[in-house]
Amino acid sequence: MKYIIETWGCQMNEHDSEVLAGMLADLGYKRTDDEMDADVMLLNTCCVREKAESKVLGRLGLLKKLKQNNPDVILGVCGCMMQQPAMADRIKKRMPHMDLVFGTHNIHELPQMINEAKASRTTHIQVWPEQGEVKEGLPIKRTHGIKAFVNIMYGCNNFCTYCIVPYVRGRERSRLSKEILVEIKDLVNDGYREIMLLGQNVNSYGKDLQDEGDFADLLKAVNEIKGLDRIRFMTSHPRDFNLRLVNTLASCNKVCEHYHLPIQAGSSRILKKMNRGYTKEEYLELISQIKDRVPHASITTDIIVGFPGETEEDFDDTMEVISKVRFDGAYTFLYSSRPNTPAAKISEQVPQELKKKRFQKLLALQNSITEEINKQLIGQTLPVLFEGTSKNDDTVLMGRTRTNKIVHVSGHAELIGKIVDVNIQGAQMFSLSGKII
Ligand code: 5AD
Ligand code: SF4
């Protein structure tokens, strides 16, 4: 019996897919890359922007053929998109070839749902409207062998006015630190070298629990784990990124010097409308505190272009912040109106053409900065943790610096999982190249 899982969206979804894969493996299913060969096919979906959603709907339509070829295949769709009101019914009505529809809160029910789907051929809808307790102990089949995702919390309480995530992922729930630490220790015993702590807003960690420390305390505890080399985390919220945390980052030797700190917009007026809870000046102050204590820190960000009511002046503020901070990289998005979010109800939506024009301008500026920063690394010798071989050439190794820059070198596969000094000799926009010394 074989399975295939297609995943859209963020690391959170990728990690949920690792849990789905773990449950399928426990049921005796093996992974395949060939959908014609699959007995179970799951689509784990994202709804953060409309584009992701329309791609999923198109993909679901195409699966009808798969069902016609093999009526026994179990087709399931899950994830954030399914948590939206009326979505499950819409799928049932328009895509009767789908067997299972479930949401983000009950992925642990997959084994029972598969049994139900085998027993009767109608579309089974099992979407929980609300989050349940944090589930511990689910099996996980990890995609990578060197670095592992570890959830530290679920959900989000921030309600940024453009964002659908709090509606589809529920309120913040932190895992107990003892559960997190046991999971990481086990991973280290299994040979993992790097841990990525995951949460929609990791800086809120512990706020919902009694007798638990905060995110800085958790980082300190993870930093003590013997045999672990690198710690990363995402995503941070600038509002909750306090000085104590900055000092903790500087003092924990395993915490990598790369921080993803979404700014979303450079204009304080727009930040207020977005309900982000900080101003442009406060964000710049935070960056200067970080750079002061961790001088070679790499900082990346998310930026939304064309939030409702964004004027040329607001956009110029964003351009100014990009020039001032000199981000190592930025994920840039065209604002996408999401159903039932407060921003969708604002009447002054920015025309699509204008959004695209601003987006191109911003991308050109950010790309030139990224390239300049990467070029400055030429000649330096940096420790690189090798994760695997290059997609196109298995004599080329792919690894990352502590600052999260991808590095390609030619080398032997036995270096995978090792940290090796590399002299950087070339720099492109998305990767560096070098020589092992
Ligand atoms: N439109 C565009 N981008 C969005 N994001 C979240 N919601 C929207 C939206 N409605 C972006 C934010 C967030 C990232 C994961 O996706 O920048 O940080
Ligand atoms: Fe969405 Fe804001 Fe929560 Fe991030 S912090 S998931 S942007 S609501």
When pLDDT is averaged across residues 69-83 and rounded to a whole number, the result is 96
For ligand 1, whether the C-beta of 355 sits within 6 Å is: no
Superfamily (CATH H level) for 2-126: Methylthiotransferase, N-terminal domain (3.40.50.12160)
Residue 74 tokens read as 């179990």
Q: Tell me: the pLDDT tens digits for 304-339?
A: 999 999 999 999 999 999 999 999 999 999 999 999
| Pocket perturbation via mutation, ligand 2, pick of 46, 83, 157, 158 by most ligand atoms within 8 A of CB | 158
Nearest atom (ligand 1) to Cα of 262: 18
| Annotated domain spans of the chain | 2-126, 147-375, 381-436
CATH class for domain 147-375?
A: alpha beta
pLDDT for residue 92: 92
Return the structure tokens found at 395.
């004599």
CA angle in degrees (0–180, nearest 5) for 15-19-23: 165
Specify the long-range contacts of residues 244-250, CB closer than 8 Å, at least 24 apart. Answer: 244/216, 245/203, 245/215, 245/216, 245/219, 246/286, 246/289, 246/290, 246/293, 246/294, 247/293, 248/216, 248/219, 248/220, 249/219, 249/290, 249/293, 249/294, 250/293, 250/294
Q: Cβ < 6 Å from ligand 2: which residues?
A: 156, 158-160, 163, 165-166, 200-201, 237
Question: What percentage of the chain reaches a pLDDT higher than 70?
Answer: 100
Ligand 2 atom closest to Cα of 302?
A: 7
- C-alpha 193/C-alpha 237 separation (Å) is 26
Ligand 1 touching residue 336 (CB < 6 A): yes
Residue with CA closest to ligand 1 atom 14: 302
Q: Give the ligand 1 atom nearest the CA of 48.
A: 7
Mean pLDDT computed over 406-433:
96
CA gap 235, 205 in Å, rounded:
11
Length of the chain: 437
Q: How far is the CA of 160 from the centre of ligand 1 (A)?
A: 9
Q: In whole angstroms, what is the distance from residue 194 CA to residue 227 CA?
A: 10
Domain 381-436 CATH superfamily: Nucleic acid-binding proteins (2.40.50.140)
Mutate which of 46, 172, 201, 240 to test ligand 2's pocket (most atoms within 8 Å of Cβ)? 201
Nearest to 72 by CA among 141, 115, 118: 118
Strand boundaries in 8-86, DSSP class E: 30-31, 40-45, 74-79
Q: Report in angstroms the alpha-carbon separations of 316 from 45, 234, 358.
A: 34, 27, 10
pLDDT band at 391 (very low <50, low <70, confident <90, very high): confident
Average pLDDT, the chain: 96
The 10 Å Cβ neighbour count of residue 430 is 11
* Mean pLDDT of the region 14-28: 97
**Ligand 2 centroid from CA 158, angstroms:** 6
- Mean pLDDT over 361-387 rounds to 98
Tokens of 183: 């999971």
437 or 5, greater pLDDT: 5
Whose atoms come closest to the Cα of 237: which ligand?
2
